[in-house]
Amino acid sequence: MEIIVLSKLAGSSNRLCMGRRGTLLMGVLMAVAVGAAAIGGYRAGVEQAPAVADDALYADLRHELAGQRRAVREARLAAQRNLDALALQLGAMEARLIRLDVLGQRLVEKGRLDAAEFGFDSGAPAMGGPYAAGPDLGNTVPDFVAELEALAGRLDDREQRLGALENLLRDRRLLEQVSPTGKPVEKGWISSYFGLRKDPISGRKSRHEGLDFASARGSKVIAVASGVVVFSGRRSGYGRMVEIDHGNGLVTRYAHNAENLAAVGDVVTKGQPIALVGASGRATGPHVHFEVLRDDRPLNPMNFIRSGKG
C-alpha cells in the first residue's frame, strides 16, 4: 500500500510505502473512527429527542387550554341567556298571576260575595321606572330561586282561593237549578191561590194546597227546577200528574195534564217540558195545578216564584 503525504509548508509531497500489516492496521483505525462518530451522533439525537417531545406536549396543552377557555366563555354566555330568558318568563308569570287576581275579583263581585273573604284584590302594586343595570345589579341564580319559591307560594294561595270560590259558585248554581223558581207554564195566569178558598165544584170552603195556572190546552208544562221524576201517571183528584224530587226534601207536582211527557226515573232540567196542559182529574178547565212540598208538607208556591228561596 502506498500513501501520499502532502506538505503545506514545504510545498512538496512524499510517498510512503506500507506493507500488508500496515495496510491492515490502517483499516482498523479507520473503522474505529467511523464507529466513534456514529456513537456521538446517536447520543446527540437522544439528548435532543426529549426537547422535541416536550414542545409537542406543550403545544397540545396550549391548544386544549384555548379550547377550555372558549367553552367557559360559551357557558357563561349560555348561562346569561338562560338567566335573561328566566327573567322574562318570571315576569310573564307575575303578569298572569295579576290577571288571575283581577279575574278572581270580578268573579267575587259578580257573585256578590264578600271580597275580604277571598282577597283577590291584594295583588302586586303598580311599579315602573327606567332600567338601570350595574355590575352588581343583575339577577343571580339564588335570586331567581327565591323569587320562584315566593311565586309558587302565591300560586298555591290563589289555587286554594279559586277552589273555594269555584265550589261556592258551583253549589250556588246547583242550588239555583234545584230550587223551584218561576212559573210552571210558558204563558198563563194564576186562576186560584194557595190556602182557603171556595171549592170550584162543591162550592164548599176547602183548603187549596197549590197554585192553579190557567193556560191554553196542549201548551207546555215546564219544570221549575232540576230533579228526578219520581211519579208520572194518574192520581185521584189530580188526573195525570208529574212529581219531581229536587233533593233536600223538596218536591214539586204538576197536575191535570192532558199528557205526561216525562217518565219515572227521568232526570229533568230547569225549564224542560214535562207535560201538556189539560183538564184531567177534578178540574173545570185546562190549567196546571202546581204544588211545592218540603218533607211532605205543602208550602205556598208563591214564595218560591217571587224570591226563589226555599
Summarised one tens digit per residue, pLDDT across range 96-116 is: 667 666 666 666 666 666 555
Residue 81, in any domain of the structure: yes
Q: Determine the Cα–Cα distance for residues 159 and 100; give it in Å rounded to an integer.
A: 10
* Judgement on whether residues 155 and 255 belong to the same structural domain of the protein: no
State the average pLDDT over residues 270-290.
94
Query: Nearest CA to 59 among 48, 51, 70, 71?
Result: 51
Does 136 score more than 50 pLDDT?
no
State the average pLDDT over residues 105-134.
58
Residue 70, in any domain of the structure: no
**β-sheet bridge partners, residue 7:** 12
Give the percent of the chain with pLDDT over 90: 29
Residue 206, in any domain of the structure: yes
Residue 50, in any domain of the structure: no
* Judgement on whether residues 164 and 260 belong to the same structural domain of the protein: no
Q: Determine the Cα–Cα distance for residues 205 and 203; give it in Å rounded to an integer.
A: 7
Residues in the chain: 310
Residue 30, in any domain of the structure: yes
* Judgement on whether residues 143 and 216 belong to the same structural domain of the protein: no
Q: What is the pLDDT of residue 25?
A: 53
Higher local confidence (pLDDT), 205 or 96: 205
> Does the pTM exceed 0.85?
no
Give the percent of the chain with pLDDT over 70: 52
State the average pLDDT over residues 194-203.
82
* Judgement on whether residues 164 and 86 belong to the same structural domain of the protein: yes
Does 255 score more than 80 pLDDT?
yes
* Judgement on whether residues 301 and 202 belong to the same structural domain of the protein: yes
Q: Which of 113-127, 149-163, 290-304 has the lowest mean pLDDT?
A: 113-127
Higher local confidence (pLDDT), 187 or 177: 187
Residue 293, in any domain of the structure: yes
Q: What is the pLDDT of residue 7?
A: 52
* Judgement on whether residues 294 and 229 belong to the same structural domain of the protein: yes
Task: Give CA angle at 202 (199, 205), nearest 5°.
Answer: 45
* Judgement on whether residues 207 and 154 belong to the same structural domain of the protein: no
Residue 65, in any domain of the structure: no
* Judgement on whether residues 173 and 233 belong to the same structural domain of the protein: no
Residue 111, in any domain of the structure: yes
Domain count, the chain: 3
* Judgement on whether residues 282 and 200 belong to the same structural domain of the protein: yes
Higher local confidence (pLDDT), 283 or 140: 283
Q: Quick one: pLDDT band at residue 306, thresholds 50, 70, 90?
A: confident
Structural domain span for residue 242: 189-307
- Look up cell 275579583; give the residue: 105
* Judgement on whether residues 154 and 195 belong to the same structural domain of the protein: no
Higher local confidence (pLDDT), 26 or 270: 270
* Judgement on whether residues 195 and 99 belong to the same structural domain of the protein: no
Higher local confidence (pLDDT), 202 or 233: 233
Does 290 score more than 80 pLDDT?
yes
Render pLDDT for 9-40 as a digit per residue (tens, 0 to 9). 455 555 545 555 555 556 555 655 555 555 55
Does 309 score more than 70 pLDDT?
no
- Fill in the amino acid letter for 67: G
CATH number, domain containing residue 280: 2.70.70.10
Residue 132's SS3 state is: coil
* Judgement on whether residues 203 and 282 belong to the same structural domain of the protein: yes
**Cβ-proximal residues to 13 (8 Å cutoff; 6+ apart), any chain:** 4, 5, 6, 7
What is the rounded average pLDDT for all residues in the chain?
A: 74
Q: Determine the Cα–Cα distance for residues 288 and 217; give it in Å rounded to an integer.
A: 10
Q: What is the pLDDT of residue 132?
A: 55
Q: Quick one: pLDDT band at residue 153, thresholds 50, 70, 90?
A: confident
